Amino acid sequence: MGTSTSTPGLPPPELRGDQRVAPGLVRYELLHVDATTGARRGRLHTPHGTIETPVFMPVGTVGSVKACAPDDLERLGAQIILGNTYHLMLRPTEALIGAMGGLHRFISWNRPMLTDSGGFQVFSLGPTRKITEEGVAFASHLDGKKHLLTPERSIEIQEVLGADVIMAFDECPPADSARPYFEASLARTTRWLERCVKAWNRQRSSLFGIVQGGLHPDLRKAHAEAICAIDLPGYALGGFSVGEAPPAMHEGVAFSAPLLPKDKPRYLMGVGTPLDLVNCVGSGIDMFDCVLPTRTARNALLYTSQGKVVIKNARYARDEGPLDPACSCYTCRNFSRAYLRHLFVAEELVALRLNTIHNLHHWLTLMQRVREAIEADRFAALQKEVRDLWRTPEKEDA
């Protein structure tokens, strides 16, 4: 720590994972397409090792996956985690992380990483941000300080952070935007991508383009054509899971995913629930990220093989059974629902870690099962099983 002189953003060579590619571009390898759905089994080779896809990526917003240190994540089998450009540029700043050798070394995570562009988060700031052709001006939520995020600046920050995959700076227009606004926004996002590509150093990280278009099939199609006309190591779908009903989202993804190149990884940003994952894997998505498992865990909402468990509920006060009898995570192997309920109610810090470990395990083992099911051409059966469990309305814990 702090003694090696290797390239910033990369761990010392002896700490790197399975190295199938030299530092630089990631490479997608399509292994198999499920016999009866669009589900794809593949591999993403990155400078920090190979990712088995489809994959779920836990979110490490400010330089840690909340409540879980790298030891927990490694034991959980997390293959890749996310960092958020918006949060990290403000604190501790990308300059500091760069000086510390890049994000991998700073947070002591030697497996692959992906950073977002900051776009989604600055747009979420509401009235304090202003969009122009140049970029987005906004005020920090921490100290009110003014910042300007542009395609060039986003790429610069992300390259200093040094993740394996970096994302294009785009606008995610509100789903209910008027059609003229959508059209103008999509055209600007395409111009922004061209600027990202110009700013991008291909030797360091792999830039993914982002297709927007909300729930409008014709806009999605036109934007996918524009974005995918630029040859990039991967492509993402943005603007889903931003408030629309899950069936509309699944339908939109089902229409949009096949618009992306078959020989590149397809990343659905900010998604989602277990039901979302199996539906969208079936449409050909390879990569997912979402704060849902970690955020709900910190609010006592736990996902199990029997539905949702709101562990703070009084009904669990004397429940000697494990949270999920079918789960093999550290939490379920060692603790009763009664104890987990006590820890949460008593506001013991350990509750947040144990809950987070369980939910992440639920998401990550689901994806493991997804991969195995695709390999065996029985993904449709798994999809049905998960749909039956989480059928709308989702199993609530009244």
Among 42, 112, 272, 322, indicate the residue that binds its own copies (CB under 8 A): 322
Active-site residue identified among 34, 116, 164, 286: 116
Q: Is 248 in the site for its own copies (CB under 8 A)?
A: no
How many other C-beta atoms lie within 10 A of the C-beta of residue 194? 13
What's the farthest any 2 CA atoms get from each other in the chain?
61
C-alpha angle 255-262-362 in degrees, rounded to nearest 5: 70
Minimum separation from the CB atom of position 359 to its own copies (A): 14
- Contact criterion met (CB below 8 Å) for 280 and 295: no
Minimum separation from the CB atom of position 117 to its own copies (A): 20
> Collapsing DSSP states into helix, strand and coil, what is residue 187?
helix
320 vs 388, beta carbon nearer its own copies = 320
Q: Is 319 a catalytic residue?
A: no
Q: Give the β-pairing of 307-310 and 49-53.
A: unpaired
Minimum separation from the CB atom of position 371 to its own copies (A): 27
276 membership: H or E segment, kind and range: helix 274-281
Q: Is 291 in the site for its own copies (CB under 8 A)?
A: no
Q: Is 314 in the site for its own copies (CB under 8 A)?
A: no
Which range touches its own copies (CB under 8 A), out of 102-110, 237-245, 259-267, 268-276? 102-110
202 vs 318, beta carbon nearer its own copies = 318
Q: Is 255 in the site for its own copies (CB under 8 A)?
A: no
Minimum separation from the CB atom of position 362 to its own copies (A): 18
Q: Is 318 in the site for its own copies (CB under 8 A)?
A: yes
Minimum separation from the CB atom of position 312 to its own copies (A): 12
Q: Is 254 in the site for its own copies (CB under 8 A)?
A: no
Q: Is 307 in the site for its own copies (CB under 8 A)?
A: no
16 vs 387, beta carbon nearer its own copies = 16
183 membership: H or E segment, kind and range: helix 179-199
Question: Could you tell me the CA-to-CA distances from 67 to 73, 208, 303, 352 in Å, in that order?
Answer: 10, 29, 17, 6
What's the CA gap between 148 and 134, in Å, rounded?
9
Among 38, 92, 246, 307, indicate the residue that binds its own copies (CB under 8 A): 92
* 236: CB partners within 8 A, 6+ apart: 167, 208, 209, 210, 211, 266, 267, 268, 269, 287
Backbone angles phi, psi at 271, to 5 degrees: -125, 140
What's the CA gap between 221 and 287, in Å, rounded?
20
24 vs 92, beta carbon nearer its own copies = 92
Minimum separation from the CB atom of position 307 to its own copies (A): 20
Active-site residue identified among 170, 276, 289, 324: 289
Near its own copies in 62-81, by CB under 8 A: 62-71
Q: Is 96 in the site for its own copies (CB under 8 A)?
A: yes
Site for its own copies (CB under 8 A): how many residues?
43
What's the CA gap between 233 and 287, in Å, rounded?
13
Burial of 387 (0-12, 13-18, 19+ CB in 10 A): middle
What's the CA gap between 274 and 265, in Å, rounded?
20
Among 106, 208, 235, 344, indicate the residue that binds its own copies (CB under 8 A): 106
Q: Is 194 in the site for its own copies (CB under 8 A)?
A: no
- Contact criterion met (CB below 8 Å) for 344 and 300: yes
Minimum separation from the CB atom of position 363 to its own copies (A): 19
**Cα 318 vs. chain centroid, distance in angstroms?**
36
Q: Is 289 a catalytic residue?
A: yes
- Contact criterion met (CB below 8 Å) for 189 and 215: no
Taking the CA atoms of 153, 20, 73 and 298 in sequence, report the sign of the dihedral they define.
positive
Q: Is 352 in the site for its own copies (CB under 8 A)?
A: yes
Binding track over 328-347 against its own copies, x by CB under 8 A? --x---xxx-xx--xx-xx-
Instruction: Show which residues are catalytic.
Output: 116, 289
State the residues that interact with its own copies by CB under 8 A: 1-3, 62-71, 91-92, 96, 99-101, 106-108, 317-318, 320-322, 330, 334-336, 338-339, 342-343, 345-346, 348-350, 352-354
